[in-house]
Structure 1
Amino acid sequence: MGGNESAFSLPLWASVLVAAGAGAILDAGFPDRDWWFLAPLGVALMLVALLGRSLGTGLLVGLVAGLSFWLIHIYWITLYLGLVPWFALGGLQSLFFGLGLGLTALVLRHGPRLWPSVWGRVGLVPVIVAGLWTAREAISAVWPYGGFAWGRVALSQSESPFGSLVAWVGLSGLSFILVWLSALAVQLLREPDLAHTLRAAVAVGAVALVLAIPAWPTLPSGTTRLAAVQGNADAGLFAEYSPGQILQDHTSATLPLIGESVDFVVWPENASDIDPTRSAAAAQVLDYISTEMDAPLITGTITQPEDTYFNSSLLWEAGRGAVDVYDKVHPVPFAEYMPDRAFWRPFAPELIDLIARDYGIGTRDNVFNIDGVLAGIAICFDIADDQLVQEMIDSGAQLILAQTNNADFGHTDESVQQLAIARLRAIQTGRTVVNISTVGSSAIITPNGDTLDSLPTFTAGAMVQTVPLSDTITPAMVAGRATEWLLSGLGLAGLALCLGAARRHRR
């Protein structure tokens, strides 16, 4: 191909159509469909749509791909919140998507000129493309307002053969690998001078090499027996219930367990709709459960220690009350608090005013010591936050309790998307993850990603299981965010070189 920008390029209208279809195909790789093999195909089609594109047309193609993916992927927002928040969040994420793919178009256009040898093009261009994708995911996961760490390509692979790689490279590393394989396939198609058999051998060899990496062995350091209770409580944002009803639902679902020998009981986020630290009646209920089960109780509730509300998880012991508290560190913007309320309110005053109570940002650590068992605590979207997961493992967590309230999202894909994140976190950290919801999807995931137990959605019940504990530190947790920085840095450095090549070409 030499100095040619591309051996293949679609007309702009065709690129836009391919990008729109590619976004839908990428979404189909995620739960609920969970056709994981479609995720890298969707990425590859997006890259095909970018071939021969300039920055401007690449931005357009990327924006179309982003809108197609995001508006399908988070359609669950519309169930209670309507179209405006759906378009707002989907539009913001699509802007990130568009910018990332627009810059990727420059790499696909000028990279082959910068690295003119066949193996330079095949070896380096896919790495730069994958690095840019990783950088875009990394930025949108933390910015603005703490970011939205949803929809990363890696999250489509919770049930795939590639899923075990997260123990080695983390979520960002897995996204990099999947996009690299997609970009490699596209780049090989652009190399007509290579024999068909050689191109196929390189593509198949790359996939085989990745899949040959063995799962990281997780050695148990002990066991604990727990009861995780799903109360099937109507705990949605706009649900109508009498005070104490959600607490009663979880109490009723726990009473049949009396007589079971467990080390602790865990309830979901918001399982006590009355703050037991301020209500003697609610405290008596928790004392009763803890006494009858002869075990501590971990429950979610809304606390107000002074003038600030917190979405909290309590470690409750009969007669002692809340012996430890975790306040959610990453409350969800535009849902649990309204950032820059005065600025945003004129755009949609009725929607903004729905968020009448702003939750504070917690400052406590996210690990409970439950009679010697160190449990990492994640409240709802906390499980998607890389830094919070890193902190609980650094603090010695031997298992993870992921408490959530999915009642707002009904039978949509949101709860299974969140469960997929929990499954990947189990593999990544080498820890049992107990994903317990008010309504589902609730499951206990072992460190190798298997489902030990689960509950039907919108059904009251409990999971009582003896689960492994672990002190194993996986390579992903040793490296932490350094993997993300390294891979993103490769992409950005390659982009800078391509921008330099573009300027020289224009001159």
Structure 2
Amino acid sequence: MVVSFRRRAGLAAFAGAAATCMFAPVGLVLAGPVALLGLTLALRGTRVPAAAGIGVVFGAVFSFSLLWWMRAVGTDAWIALSLIETAYFLLLGPVVALVQRLPGWPVWVAAAWVSYEELRAGWPFGGFPWGRLAFGVMDTGFAPLLPYVGTAGVGFVVALLGTVTAWVVVRVAGLRRDGGNDAVRDRRVLGGSSRRTSRSAPSCCSPRCARTRCPRTARWSRSRRCRATCRVPATTSSPCTAR
């Protein structure tokens, strides 16, 4: 099934807004996995140029809404910083689209997201770590993992939860599509066999439509009643059919 770029971009915009809802003042913890789910599905099966555009849509919605508080410093600072943050997704989009072609792609997509967070946290100007998935789960069930795996590990777990959900969605959709294709194929095969049977069968199954031998020409012919009932043309022309 071919999905248009507009629908993919709409899904990416929704995912970007969901990612923002993970942080204060909303604070929806499950919004993080939902964001990764939407971004992964929006980028699945796309080419590099389209993936870059979809990544920019996600990054723009996420960055501009997350850094809304920067307007207190200045509108120009808010716009400039949001554009810098959005530029990272220009590269992340194609990477996510490409790694989905690999075996075990949910792990690779989660790793790509964590790599993006690490890169953004260190560059430029010392990094901008706002919006890391680990920062949105400080007071949740993911918090006990922080002393053991750090922010990168917790971010990977949250991202993996979203990508594995995307894998389940893709798998279920594939099974339903294959089942529908098999049903259509079976109907076509059965329809073709019935048509071939109806064309090749010389007589119908009703006893009153059985063929009778003409006593004069010794040919097999159908009665007029058979032709009127079954709408099957007579196969031979004989004195019996003329009566």
TM-score, scaled relative to structure 1 = 0.33
Deviations 1:297-353 (A, max 9, x none): xxxxxxxxxxxxxxxxxxxxxxxxxxxxxxxxxxxxxxxxxxxxxxxxxxxxxxxxx
Question: CA distance change for structure 1 residues 194 and 52 in 2, over 3 Å: closer, same or farther?
Answer: closer
Gaps of 5+ in 2: 177-243
Q: Find the counterpart in structure 2 of residue 95 from structure 1.
A: 87
Gaps of 5+ in 1: 1-7, 116-123, 197-507
Question: CA distance change for structure 1 residues 188 and 146 in 2, over 3 Å: closer, same or farther?
Answer: same
Q: Find the counterpart in structure 1 of residue 24 from structure 2.
A: 31
Q: Find the counterpart in structure 2 of residue 73 from structure 1.
A: 66
Secondary structure at the counterpart of residue 141 of structure 1: helix
Q: Find the counterpart in structure 1 of residue 135 from structure 2.
A: 155
The 1-side partners of 2:21 and 2:173 are apart by 34
Name which structure has the greater RCO, CA cutoff 8 Å, separation 6+. 1
- Higher mean C-alpha displacement, 159-168 vs 16-25: 159-168
- Give the one of 160, 165, 168 matched to 2:148: 168
Question: CA distance change for structure 1 residues 55 and 195 in 2, over 3 Å: closer, same or farther?
Answer: closer
Does the alignment pair 1:19 with 2:12? yes
Amino acid at match of 2:43: L
Amino acid at match of 1:191: R
Amino acid at match of 1:149: P
Answer yes or no: is the 8 Å Cα contact 2:32–2:162 preserved in 1: no
- Give the one of 113, 124, 131 matched to 1:133: 113
- Using the TM superposition, give the Cα deviation of residue 94 of structure 1 relative to its aligned residue in structure 2, in angstroms: 0.9
The 1-side partners of 2:110 and 2:46 are apart by 18
Answer yes or no: is the 8 Å Cα contact 1:63–1:98 preserved in 2: yes
- Give the one of 143, 152, 156 matched to 2:123: 143
Amino acid at match of 2:168: L
Answer yes or no: is the 8 Å Cα contact 2:33–2:163 preserved in 1: no
Secondary structure at the counterpart of residue 145 of structure 1: coil
Question: CA distance change for structure 1 residues 193 and 44 in 2, over 3 Å: closer, same or farther?
Answer: closer
Does the alignment pair 1:43 with 2:36? yes
Answer yes or no: is the 8 Å Cα contact 2:18–2:32 preserved in 1: yes
Matches within 5 A, 1:143-292: 143-192=123-172
| Structure number having the greater helix percentage | 2
Q: Find the counterpart in structure 1 of residue 240 from structure 2.
A: none
The 2-side partners of 1:62 and 1:9 are apart by 19
Answer yes or no: is the 8 Å Cα contact 1:107–1:129 preserved in 2: yes
Answer yes or no: is the 8 Å Cα contact 1:10–1:49 preserved in 2: no
Amino acid at match of 1:151: G
| Structure number having the greater strand percentage | 1
The 1-side partners of 2:36 and 2:134 are apart by 12
Matches within 5 A, 1:394-433: none
Deviations 1:260-298 (A, max 9, x none): xxxxxxxxxxxxxxxxxxxxxxxxxxxxxxxxxxxxxxx
Counting matched residue pairs gives 176
Amino acid at match of 1:133: W
Amino acid at match of 2:38: L
- Using the TM superposition, give the Cα deviation of residue 10 of structure 1 relative to its aligned residue in structure 2, in angstroms: 2.6
Question: CA distance change for structure 1 residues 10 and 86 in 2, over 3 Å: closer, same or farther?
Answer: same
Matches within 5 A, 1:445-456: none
Amino acid at match of 2:34: L
Secondary structure at the counterpart of residue 101 of structure 1: helix
Amino acid at match of 2:70: I
Moved over 4 A (4+): 193-196
TM-score, scaled relative to structure 2 = 0.68
- Using the TM superposition, give the Cα deviation of residue 34 of structure 1 relative to its aligned residue in structure 2, in angstroms: 0.6
Q: Find the counterpart in structure 1 of residue 98 from structure 2.
A: 106
- Using the TM superposition, give the Cα deviation of residue 194 of structure 1 relative to its aligned residue in structure 2, in angstroms: 8.5
Secondary structure at the counterpart of residue 105 of structure 1: helix
Answer yes or no: is the 8 Å Cα contact 1:64–1:98 preserved in 2: no
Amino acid at match of 2:16: G
